[in-house]
Amino acid sequence: MVYAIAIATIAMTILFNIYAPLAWIAVVSLPIIFLFAYIFFRKMQSAFQKSDEAEGAMSADLQENLAGTRVVKAFNREEYELKKFDKKNGEFRDLTFRLIQLLGFYWGFSDFVCLLQILAVVIFGIFFARSGEITVGNFFVFISYEGMILWPIRNVGRILSDMGKMSVSISRLNEILDTPIEDMVSGTTPDVKGDIVFDHVYFKYDDGDKDVLKDVSFSVKQGQTLAILGPTGSGKPSLMHLLTRLYDYNAGSITLNNHELKEIQRHHLRKNVGIVLQEPFLFSKTIFENIRMANPKAKEPEVLRAAQIASVHDVIKEFELGYKTLVGEKGVTLSGGQKQRIAIARTIINNCPILIFDDSLSAVDTQTDASIRSALREVSRGVTTFLITHRIASAQNADKIVVLQDGEVTQIGTHETLSKEEGLYQRIVEIQNAMIEGGDDE
């Protein structure tokens, strides 16, 4: 745009120096063309938007159809879908065609005006040249330069109107940039070992009005395994959010080797607390890279060992490309259990003193679950482990079991003590035993 304006300006300056009256004639229509372009493209924005939206609607329809192929086929609705798509496709065509037609009108009309402007210069130029006010050469200069002035101006009007759209984008961008970011660096970096104490902890989410955790107190010693058992909605995940400082508790205290959790630097804390999420996200890289992600310095034997502990080594070996298999959209589709196990390998490779399994064995069958845990026990002596689970089988070997109901701790003990104590845990154990022996109906 700068180039266009520069050329036009220089050309105009020269023309005015040669012969001002003809130069005035040469620029008389410029404001008109410029304004016309500006106003026109301003007005066009809604047409642009409509065409954009129609395209979006068409893609959305296509996407839905593809995602729902099974439904479409099973209900025998191919014909109906085709009609639906045809409508969206037609709308997009018509709206875009309308847009192009408007553009055609603009370019046609502005060409007409620009060319008229040239004609004016030619006619007046003839008179001026005949009367000797300008030379033939200058007449030629006028005609050649006229084009250089006119054609860029049309585009300038268009570009200016596009800038309106740009300012909207800029303000949106600023909105994102202005959002406060999580403070990763401030705080202490104490040596983390794995003694954890929850002392009368209360917590609620910013947008919630109910306490998710109420007066939660318990403690774990380094190297112990703590199982947290509770029904859906009892606040199990929130407990873990607190431990990794994804959220901070509202009242009470949590300490890590006597260091108040809130004062520990987030970066440092998360490096020491390994968590495996229930629905882990794998990046679209190879399996090897995924396992190594949190610890890029890890060597191949370490990666393999982590995979073996997570009982996923054999599965990976069966893939054609083994550890080099790509994960994600372009790669293999992994089952929920396979994903969870790779995520476990990814987490344990870091040798964190604290490990959290957030229901992360839910998609793995009971036997594999058991073998993963026994392998873990072998290699991770001294590691404090949290097991969030809904399986009694997983919980019963833990050093300590916490039963969480409605955000409150209702029972604490071991499998032995809790089996004897009246309460939720006992009821579950009893029913389970009855079921295995009798094999009766519900």
Partner 1 sequence: MSEHFEEQEFNTDKLDTGLWKKIFKLLWVHKKKLAVLYFFMIMVATVDVAFPYLNKMAIDTFISGNGDLSQLPWFALAYFACILAQGINVYYFIKQAGLIEMDFAYDVRNRAFKKLQELSFSYYDKTPLGWIMARVTSDIGRLAEILSWSLMDLVWGSSVMIGITFVMFSVNWRLALLVLMVMPVLAAISVWFQKRILKSYREVRKVNSKITGAFSEGITGAKTTKTLVLEEINYGEFNALTHDMRAQSIRAAVLSAIFMPIVMSLGSISTAAILWYGGNQVLLGVLQFGTLMLFTQYAGQFFEPLRQIARLLAEFQMAQASAERVLSLLSAEPQIVDTPEVIAKYGTVLNPKREAYEKIKGNVTFDHVSFHYNPEEPVLRDFSLDVTSGQTIALVGETGSGKSTIVNLLCRFYEPVSGKILIDGVDMRERSIGWLHSNLGYVLQSPHLFSGSVRENIRYGKLDATEEEIVEAAKLVNAHEFIEKLEQGYDTDVGEGGGRLSTGQKQLISFARAVLADPAIFVLDEATSSIDTETEQIIQHAIETLLVHRTSFIIAHRLSTIVSADRILVIKKGRVVEDGTHGELMKKKGYYFRLYTNQFNEELQDKLLRIA
Q: What is the dihedral of CA 140, 143, 144, 146, to 10 degrees?
A: 150
Q: CA–CA distance from 254 to each of 197, 198, 353, 382 (Å)?
A: 6, 5, 17, 20
75 binds partner 1 (CB under 8 A): yes
C-alpha 240/C-alpha 346 separation (Å) is 18
Per rule CB under 8 A, count of chain residues that contact partner 1: 112
In the complex, least distance from residue 103 CB atom to partner 1, rounded to whole angstroms: 6
In the complex, least distance from residue 51 CB atom to partner 1, rounded to whole angstroms: 10
In the range 209-228, which residues lie near partner 1 by CB under 8 A?
none
1 binds partner 1 (CB under 8 A): no
17 binds partner 1 (CB under 8 A): no
What three-state secondary structure class fits 415?
A: helix
Paired with 264 in beta bridges are 188
47 binds partner 1 (CB under 8 A): no
Query: Which stretch, 40-48, 212-220, 256-264, 274-282, contacts partner 1 (CB under 8 A)?
Result: 274-282
Query: Which stretch, 13-21, 247-255, 256-264, 328-336, contacts partner 1 (CB under 8 A)?
Result: 328-336
In the range 113-132, which residues lie near partner 1 by CB under 8 A?
115-116, 118-119, 122-123, 125-126, 129-130
Helix axes 136-178, 2-18, angle to 10 degrees: 150
The DSSP result for 306-369, as a single string, is HHHHTT-HHHHHHSTTGGG-BBSTTSBPPPHHHHHHHHHHHHHTT--SEEEEESTTTTS-HHHH
412 binds partner 1 (CB under 8 A): no
85 binds partner 1 (CB under 8 A): yes
426 binds partner 1 (CB under 8 A): no
Residue (24 or 75) nearer to partner 1, CB: 75
Show Cβ contacts of residue 375 under 8 Å, excluding neighbours closer than 6 positions: 308, 309, 310, 311
Residue (253 or 325) nearer to partner 1, CB: 325
Residue (213 or 287) nearer to partner 1, CB: 287
In the complex, least distance from residue 216 CB atom to partner 1, rounded to whole angstroms: 18
166 binds partner 1 (CB under 8 A): no
State the pairing for strand pair 400-405/196-203: unpaired
Sign for the CA dihedral angle at 203, 205, 208, 212 comes to: negative
Residue (70 or 381) nearer to partner 1, CB: 70
Residue (164 or 233) nearer to partner 1, CB: 233
**Amino acid (one-letter) located at 81:** E
Residue (155 or 366) nearer to partner 1, CB: 366
In the complex, least distance from residue 157 CB atom to partner 1, rounded to whole angstroms: 17
416 binds partner 1 (CB under 8 A): no
205 binds partner 1 (CB under 8 A): no
The secondary element (H helix, E strand) that includes residue 42 is helix 30-67
C-alpha 129/C-alpha 122 separation (Å) is 10
In the complex, least distance from residue 33 CB atom to partner 1, rounded to whole angstroms: 13
Residue (209 or 365) nearer to partner 1, CB: 365
The secondary element (H helix, E strand) that includes residue 50 is helix 30-67
The secondary element (H helix, E strand) that includes residue 107 is helix 78-130
User: Residues 5, 156: contact at Cβ < 8 Å?
Assistant: yes
Among 21, 31, 104, 164, binds partner 1 (CB under 8 A): 104
In the complex, least distance from residue 245 CB atom to partner 1, rounded to whole angstroms: 9
136 binds partner 1 (CB under 8 A): yes
Among 43, 73, 200, 420, binds partner 1 (CB under 8 A): 73
Query: Which stretch, 4-12, 194-202, 211-219, 281-289, contacts partner 1 (CB under 8 A)?
Result: 281-289
If we measure between CA atoms, which residue out of 382, 381, 385 comes closest to residue 344? 385
In the range 365-394, which residues lie near partner 1 by CB under 8 A?
365-366, 390-392
In the range 167-186, which residues lie near partner 1 by CB under 8 A?
182, 184
C-alpha 156/C-alpha 354 separation (Å) is 62
